[in-house]
Amino acid sequence: MTPETDLPAEILSQSAAAAPDWDAVYAEQLPKVYNFFRYRLRDDSVAEDLTATTFEKAWRSRESYRRDVAGFATWLLAIARNVATDHLRGRRVHAPLEDAEAVRASGTPEEDNARESDGERLRALLAQLPDRERELISLKYGAGATNRAIAKLTGLSESNVGTIVHRVVEALRRDW
Amino acid sequence: MNDQFLNGLRREPAPAFARQLKSRLHALDGPAVTEARSPMWRWLATAASVAALALAFTFPAVRTAAEAFLDYFRVVNFAGVAFDPQRMAQLWSSSSVDLSTLIGQQVTPAAPPSPPVAYSTVDEASAAAQMPLHAPSWMAPGFTLSSIEVRGEHEFSVQGNTEKLQSVLDALGITDVSVPTALDGQTVSIQIPPVARLVYGDGHDQITLTQSRSPVIALPAGVDVASLAEIGLRLLGLDRAEAYRLAQSVDWRSTLLVPVPATTATFHQVEVQSGTGLEIEIGGAFNGARGGSLVLWSNDNVVYALGGPVRATDALQIAQSVQ
């Protein structure tokens, strides 16, 4: 299972006692938001752009979460969802189906090739999912959000999130 | 559940991208907004404009009645009054009286309201509002400040007409209330200072913080405010005894009475920033409006209304964080 969205204890303890270390929060949250967009969309460069948009929207108001850094993480994902929705709404009509660029990877050439191959297969599978299901998978496996956090973000019940995710994962596994 | 294969797309962001974005974010950091407190409290404090604006987002059906009714009162405190919207609708549907038209005929704009102007920063909006604007330090997850607008000061007067008001009551079948004759020919002057709205959006919904210094209302001497209030309560559909009891028990010089549709909303007093405010929770759809919460309070010479499609606890938390 993927790591959870909840922030590590050291950041939370800092937030309770003093001003949070926003650089640490940034380092913690950046991969989650970035990977949410990677799972949600097909284009890595777009994922970077939308990640930047998300953080820029949130950054100015981050002090509002001085005493609730965990709330900041959820809030950040809520913004990311909206940014993704706006992006998809704007380009859905004319977006090419095959616009994925090469997956960045690090490791041996063989490992990279294998990861790229698996990544592309997974991307192709995700691309076939209905929008809501792809978003849930993106939150779960891209952002590493808990079912509870996803429920809070989407308005679904926690059990409903679990049921849908389980069903989608089983379907994807059959096609894998 | 074997789901390891689903982790296959996860990657660390490119270091160069992470560095560049971090630099851009830090470049966004500016000096914190510091806001001085308003130095004085105008004698006639009413949240009418503030409450009416907030109510416009939550109780559209009673907006007209609320505006017409509330503008006559001044407030430091807030109190709710439950009314039955069906009863009110029945009352008004039984006659051909058009309250808006009737009131419009009695209203003379001295300085008509200008359209709201959008500002990009709180500082700019504060200057336009002629007061330091306050903002919440905590906001519901997903909501960010999306717009700031200020409606300029405006002024109007209302000419009292006993005969017309009595004819309205007659048309509605309210025959057990007499309009104070002292009202006839008298003019109520109302100056409404700039009203600022901070709108927080999440892409779909909005949470709005409205704030204003108090309108200044010049009431003619000798007007029995309690009698006028009783008439207003009857126009909302309250029965005679209840309207009388409320009219006589409320201190109209310090209390804003907010009509709340009993069938769709509940209200209760809350402590907001060491003062007493009113929290209204709307349970569900009401004439197209969504459920949500509204908190009204005054603090340090400013009247606030915080409303949006959020739970009452969240609305109160936002209100508490306004600074």
B149 contact partners, CB below 8 Å, separation of at least 6? B116, B117, B118, B119, B125, B196, B197, B199
A115-165: pLDDT as tens digits? 557 788 888 889 889 989 999 999 999 999 999 889 888 888 999 999 999
pLDDT over threshold 80, residue B30: no
Using DSSP, state whether A38 is helix, strand or coil. Answer: helix
Q: Which of A45, A57, A64 to mutate to test the interface with B (most CBs of B within 10 A)?
A: A64
Residues of A in contact with B24 (CB under 8 A): 52, 56
Is residue B248 within 8 A of residue B211, CB to CB? The reply is no
Q: Note the pLDDT of residue B205.
A: 82
Out of B5, B9, B17, the one facing A48 most closely (by C-beta) is: B17
Residues of A in contact with B1 (CB under 8 A): 166, 169-170
Residue predicted with more confidence, B142 or B288: B142
Distance from the B74 Cα atom to the nearest Cα atom in chain A, whole angstroms: 33
DSSP B25-53: HHHH--PPP--PPP----SS---HHHHHH
pLDDT above 90 covers a percentage of chain A that reads: 27
Q: How many CB pairs under 8 A join A and B?
A: 112
B291-307: pLDDT as tens digits? 788 888 887 767 888 88
State the ipTM, two decimals.
0.77
Residues of B in contact with A170 (CB under 8 A): 1
Residues of A in contact with B22 (CB under 8 A): 23, 26
Find where tokens 């804003």 sit: B256
Residues of A in contact with B142 (CB under 8 A): 74-75, 78-79, 81-82, 153
Distance from the A107 Cα atom to the nearest Cα atom in chain B, whole angstroms: 12
Q: Note the pLDDT of residue B253.
A: 65
Out of A63, A79, A172, the one facing B6 most closely (by C-beta) is: A172
Tell me which residue of A38, A7, A127 sits closest to B14, measured CA to CA. A38
Dihedral, CA of residue B284, residue B289, residue B292 and residue B296, to nearest 10: -130
